[in-house]
Amino acid sequence: MSRVKIKFFYIVFSGLFLLVISACTSSVETKTLRLGHALDTQHPVHLAMKVLGESLDEKSSGKLKLDIYPSSQLGGERECLELLQIGSLDITKVSAAVLENFIPEYKVFSLPYIFRDKTHMYHVFDSEVGEDLLNKGERFRLRGLTFYDAGSRSFYMKDNAVNTPDDLINKKIRVQKSNMAVTMINQLGGSPTPISWGELYTALQQGVVDGAENNPPSFYSSKHYEVCKHFTINEHTSVPDVLLIGTDTWNRLDEQERQWLEEAVEESATVQRELWVASEKESLEKVKEAGVTIHYPDKSLFEAKTQSMEAMFETDEDIKSLIKSIKNTP
């Protein structure tokens, strides 16, 4: 073989070798985290997650990326939590009401009127109290990253307005699979009926339940306003969404990667709060245009009926102390 041909093959194979090495190096340098959740792609929490992914990509110069799987592609909230625990999913978002079945301390968020107002709620989320709660899940292989604002939950009904707790007597009200939610509806005189979110529209249509409770953006995005024409802004609970990472995934990240992730998460939480306020306003306007009547009752009537729920934790020193800390937060 001539020297020219040998040189030619040497150059070609050297080039191919360098391409392979480059591809392998790129693969090693880039980590992709998978985030699964149950919300639709127009929800303000999903939009905040997109900000999270963009921020993470920018901060890490493409070394740490986020793939998002919305709309229950990987299962509902409970399934995603279980996938996190076994390391088959990296990050998810769940309601604190679902999380209380794994981490008992999260029951405090389902106590009616635990927050004085939205400002107080944000102060709790951003305080040592909030940080301590986020860390409570580590013993269950779940590490909290941040709280997303999920607004306040209120009642919506098919055929009647809810102006006082008496309007709920003997009414079948859909609740999440949360013991606290069940107790609250019982206290108000209603009949709590746990039904999965995906089955609720049909359940309302068919009269399986008379109504439900949730925040305005969820009421609008789910199209439940097509069936329920009365929305009561009594704001009985303010149950946040919680962004979590599996401890297996967290332990695989180095210090720099953790810093990138925490900074990106903080940015997304700030944006999410702004998106949420705008979404609440828009949602109420849209459902009113669709023929829904918005009611503004005396909230103190609902608070009086449910204030005894705190007594459930009289013998639980940990949760009792947590309630006190939340109330003492400025």
Domains and CATH numbers, the chain: 30-150+240-280 (3.40.190.170), 153-238+282-328 (3.40.190.170)
In 30-106, alpha helices (H): 44-59, 77-85, 96-99
Structure tokens at 3: 């020297």
**pLDDT above 70: percentage of residues in the chain:** 92
Q: For residues 6 and 88, which has the higher predicted lDDT (pLDDT)?
A: 88
Tell me the pLDDT tens digit for each residue of 263-297: 999 999 999 999 999 999 999 999 999 999 999 99
Tell me the pLDDT tens digit for each residue of 40-85: 898 999 999 999 999 999 999 999 999 999 999 999 898 999 999 9
SS3 at position 154: strand
Q: Give the H or E element holding residue 9.
A: helix 3-29
Neighbour-count burial for 108-130, b at 16+ CB within 10 Å, e otherwise: bbbbbbbbeebebbbbbbeeebb
Return the pLDDT at 177: 83
Q: Which residues pair with 230 in a beta bridge?
A: 157, 293
Mean pLDDT over the full length of the chain: 91
CA–CA dist 25, 77 (Å, integer): 35
What confidence category does residue 28 fall into, taking pLDDT thresholds of 50, 70 and 90? low
Structure tokens at 137: 């899940």
Q: Give the H or E element holding residue 15.
A: helix 3-29
- Tell me the longest C-alpha to C-alpha distance in the chain: 98
Contact indicator for 43, 197 with CB cutoff of 8 Å: no
